[in-house]
Amino acid sequence: MKSAPLLALFLAACSSMSDTSPSTVSSRWFGTAQNGRPAKLWTLRVQHLEIDVTDFGATLVAVRVPDTAGMVADVVLGFDDVTGYESANNQYFGCTTGRVCNRIAKGVFTLDDYTYRLAVNNGPNHLHGGGPRSFDKVFWNAEVVGDDVTPGVRFTYRSRDGEEGYPGNLDVAVTYWLMPVPGHASLQIQYEATTDKRTPVNLTNHAYWNLAGAGAPSAMDHELWIAADTYTPTDDTLIPTGQIAPVAGTALDFTKARAIGVRLDELIGTPAVGYDHNYVLRRGAELAEVAKLRHPPSGRSMTIRTTEPALQFYSGNWLRGQIGKGGKAYAQRSAVCLETQHYPDSINQPHFPNTILAPGTRFESKTLMTFGLD
């Protein structure tokens, strides 16, 4: 808990993003894509929270929040324009992933007696929706929604029947909302989808977080808590074996908050090369509190609530020093992903929570990230 003088200092230093300032939405050009289409960037602000989102990949480009001294930093990895997001340096930074996020074993599944074959783009497996028409690589339609209190940008996209090998026409909406909370502010990502043919759907956002600021050399000093007593063990290609195992006594145990790097060495020699694990979340309220990331030196924290049953925790093991926003290098393990979703390879594992969307039903999911000071 901060003292009253420190809190006063914080509020004064953040006067340019004060609680009394009206919420705002603005937009600008974000470069021209390889197909000649101009990309657009929207900036949303409420209280002490400001974000940038773009229509390329329905992507979260920036999240700017203050520390306890009032210093504002952008805490997600990304690029200065659309060119970076189309480059080989982009490792799904901030994007919407789908139709099915995470992995599908060998890029194959059978549904209604028909076998579908998808792109194999991660060793022997399908990852994050596949190739050139996966959700992170296409333009979405956009509109500003909400009001002066709760501003938002809604992105929509129709994935045609057969696109990236998936069945059915899938209509998808992803809305980024900023929500005022006394003393804090929250970013909510809302997902909706409908289909005209049975198809698997599993959507998430793939932001890489470093609460010290994007480009800081490591995120392994962050403290993490996850409301999960179990996880889904995987084979050598990171496909779940079908088991549900306890985290107790392992390096995967974050049931009490601790620094991420404390037991990292135990995982370096495994196929995951660090943390890249699906946690089975405890369920409570519909929008349950499931994780908290904290950076003690800055005091910044992010609390995650979600309607999803699982969370993939990835410790940035394959970041390689690529240059991102403002010329900053993104070193290995300099950011982490906390992806709320259904379990990996659920389409091939019937005892996992269902990911099949049927005609006449609606896929709905929400994840809420509240930024505070601890």
Task: Write the CB contacts of 106 (distance below 8 Å, at least 6 apart in sequence).
Answer: 120, 124, 125, 126
Annotated active-site residue 206? The verdict is: yes
Question: Residue 320 carries which side chain, given as an amino acid letter?
Answer: R
50-82 burial, b for 16+ CB within 10 Å, e for fewer?
bbbbbbbbbbbbbbbbbbbebebbbbbbbbbbb
Task: Write the CB contacts of 247 (distance below 8 Å, at least 6 apart in sequence).
Answer: 228, 229, 230, 231, 253, 254, 255, 279
Annotated active-site residue 126? The verdict is: no
Which among 129, 336, 106 is positioned nearest to 239, based on CA atoms? Answer: 106
Catalytic residue, chosen from 48, 128, 206, 295, is: 206
3 state DSSP class of 104: strand
Cα(18)–Cα(44) distance, integer angstroms: 14
Which among 160, 142, 197, 122 is positioned nearest to 361, based on CA atoms? Answer: 197
State the residue for tokens 């603005």: 26
Task: Write the CB contacts of 274 (distance below 8 Å, at least 6 apart in sequence).
Answer: 264, 267, 268, 315, 316, 317, 333
Residue 111: how many other CB atoms lie within 10 Å: 16
Catalytic residue, chosen from 50, 164, 308, 339, is: 339
Plot region of 15 (φ>0 → left; ψ -120 to 50 → alpha; else → beta): alpha
Helices (H), the chain: 4-13, 82-85, 265-268
DSSP 212: T
Q: Are 371 and 207 in contact (CB under 8 A)?
A: no
Cα(12)–Cα(186) distance, integer angstroms: 20
Indicate which residues carry an active-site annotation.
Answer: 206, 339
